Amino acid sequence: MLLKIKPIVLLLMLSLMSLLGCENEPIELSDYTWRATSVAGSAASKEKLANLTLEFKEDQEITGFSGCNDYRGGATYNRQQIKFSTLYTDNMPCEDEALEKRFLENLESASTYTYQANKLAIHDASGNIVVEMEQM
């Protein structure tokens, strides 16, 4: 015996199955400039964190501001994994040197990332969130 399903219910069910069966499109990290909202191991204020930025450029290059200096380096990433090269700065001293050092070390320890609702969470190899960022 066949169930009689109203066309609108059938259409809604098929639409829902289609949405659940498809993965979301991956975020293109280079479409945005990212601003830090938290750095593990640092108790910096929101204002200081907001100065920390990250930009993904062409050819796997990255740049940004790390609290005291501009920095540069490289990053390779796919849908979930991310790996930063050694990051280089001009080493100009300032009062936020400890925050800068922690931020750069945390980026260099990155292994994976997640993206949800305009927020980027960068994780180390143990799965701990080491840097959280938002789109600017």
Name the nearest CA neighbour of 85 among 70, 99, 71.
71
Domains along the sequence of the chain with CATH: 26-135 (2.40.128.270)
- Report d(CA 26, CA 35) in Å as an integer: 19
pLDDT of residue 5: 57
Which residues of the chain, if any, have pLDDT below 50? 1-2, 10, 14-25
Dihedral of alpha carbons 27, 33, 39, 44, sign = negative
pTM score, whole prediction: 0.79
pLDDT of residue 71: 98
User: Which contiguous run of DSSP H or E holds residue 35?
Assistant: strand 33-39
Name the burial class of residue 93, with classes exposed (0-12), middle (13-18) and buried (19+) by CB atoms within 10 angstroms of its CB: exposed
Summarize pLDDT for 14-25 with one digit per residue, the tens: 444 444 434 444
CA-CA distances (angstroms) from residue 91 to 47, 78, 100, 101, 133?
22, 30, 10, 10, 23
